[in-house]
Amino acid sequence: MNGSTVTEFVFLDFSCTRPAQLFLLTVVLTCYITILLGNTLIMVIVSSEPRLFQCPMYLFLANLSLLDMTLGSVAAPKLVTDLLNGGSTISYGGCMAQIVVFHFSGTAEMFLLSVMAYDRYVAICHPLRYTTIINQQRCFSLLVLCWTGGLIHGVFQMVIMAQLPYCGANVLDNFFCDVPQLIKLACSGIYVAEILIVVNDAVIALPSFLMLLLSYAIILAMLCGRFGKGGRKALSTCSSHLMVVVLYYGPMFFVYLKPSSNTQVDKMASVMYMVVTPALNPLIYTLRNQDMKGAMRKLRQKFLASCLIRGNEISFS
Ligand SMILES: *[C@@H]1O[C@H](CO)[C@@H](O)[C@H](O)[C@H]1NC(C)=O
């Protein structure tokens, strides 16, 4: 913290009326509860069903759930208490922590979505070679790549931000510490930091996004021809993947890639990818997927059976 005098940052949350704030509070709270319960449920289902746990697609899905929980926890709990109290601050350390965790989970998730696209591409376009291409070991190394890639990116962003001096200005017109706004509060070295960040983002985000687009483009082109039972099932899996991709990338592109910014609208878009999308992922995957629904039914039966047995034990003793 060389030269820094700022020890905390002030958030200007949502400057709307109190009823509107309470409405937002309800939405965020509902989403956060869904994030925690829904994603935990997905991880429990996948790990309790051996048939799913051996299939790379579901291992990827369980990992995505874990990342969704991490991403969802960056801003939502604090936003809830801030909306309750009206107004808020965050410590310097808390701000840096938000940057690491947000960029780590966001990037790891972005990589993972690309890996999932590649996985579906191989499954649909090269079904006979699928088990040799996406074997246990490759699946594991792809996941390690996603997690470490995300971690490196997150730490890199944080190091850039932490070596900038902040000499007084400390008001962020946002509900979490977002790099583009934080950078403007620094009193020197802004230009170099901005270039580093753009280069870093371009190196990370562009290739993985292009791979994602390419995979789904090829899949869609392949599927257009065959609409038998197999084709339709593949299309329905892919459409839920695509829906998640759009929900995730759409608001992010909106916030980060357009030149001028209207902070109120940007804040709503940020709520979308920080809070709403991580809550929608589990719903999209479990409600639209027959295998997940089947596993959920089995789990419920097992659970009910164990309750009955326990009930009997209690009544016998
Ligand atoms: C993520 O994937 C790995 C397999 O490579 C698996 O062992 C692990 O359980 C997965 N994580 C979750 C939360 O399911």
62 lines ligand 1 (CB under 6 A): yes
C-alpha 86 – ligand 1 centre gap (Å): 39
Relative to beta strand 88-91, strand 171-172 is unpaired
What share of the chain in percent tops pLDDT 90? 27
C-alpha 150 – ligand 1 centre gap (Å): 16
Q: What is the pLDDT of residues 15-44, one digit of tens each?
A: 778 888 889 999 999 999 999 999 999 999
- Confidence at 1, pLDDT banded by 50, 70, 90: very low
Please state the rounded mean pLDDT for residues 5-14: 84
Q: At what angle do helices 190-225 and 229-257 cross, to 10 degrees?
A: 160
C-alpha 65 – ligand 1 centre gap (Å): 10
C-alpha 211 – ligand 1 centre gap (Å): 23
139 lines ligand 1 (CB under 6 A): yes
Q: What is the pLDDT of residues 49-64, one digit of tens each?
A: 887 788 888 899 999 9
Please state the rounded mean pLDDT for residues 205-222: 80
Q: What is the pLDDT of residues 131-187, one digit of tens each?
A: 888 888 889 999 999 999 999 999 999 998 998 888 888 898 889 998 888 988 988
135 lines ligand 1 (CB under 6 A): no
Confidence (pLDDT) at 317: 46
Please state the rounded mean pLDDT for residues 189-197: 84
Using CB atoms within 10 Å of the CB of residue 178, give its burial: 0 to 12 exposed, 13 to 18 middle, 19+ buried. buried
Please state the rounded mean pLDDT for residues 72-84: 91
- Whose CA is closest to atom 11 on ligand 1? 63
66 lines ligand 1 (CB under 6 A): yes
- Confidence at 226, pLDDT banded by 50, 70, 90: low
pTM assigned to the model = 0.85
From the alpha carbon of 140, which atom of ligand 1 is closest?
A: 5
Test site for ligand 1: of 59, 119, 142, most ligand atoms within 8 A of the Cβ: 59
From the alpha carbon of 139, which atom of ligand 1 is closest?
A: 5
- Whose CA is closest to atom 1 on ligand 1? 63
C-alpha 115 – ligand 1 centre gap (Å): 14
**The CATH number, out of the four listed (1.20.1070.10, 3.40.50.300, 1.10.1740.10, 1.10.10.10), of the domain defined by the range 8-316:** 1.20.1070.10
Residues forming beta bridges with residue 9, ordered by sequence position: 90
Q: What is the pLDDT of residues 237-294, one digit of tens each?
A: 777 778 888 888 888 878 777 766 677 788 888 898 899 999 988 888 777 777 778 8
Confidence (pLDDT) at 316: 52
Confidence (pLDDT) at 311: 62
Test site for ligand 1: of 143, 147, 292, most ligand atoms within 8 A of the Cβ: 143
Residues 6+ apart with CB under 8 A from 74: 98, 101, 102, 105, 176, 274
Confidence (pLDDT) at 102: 95
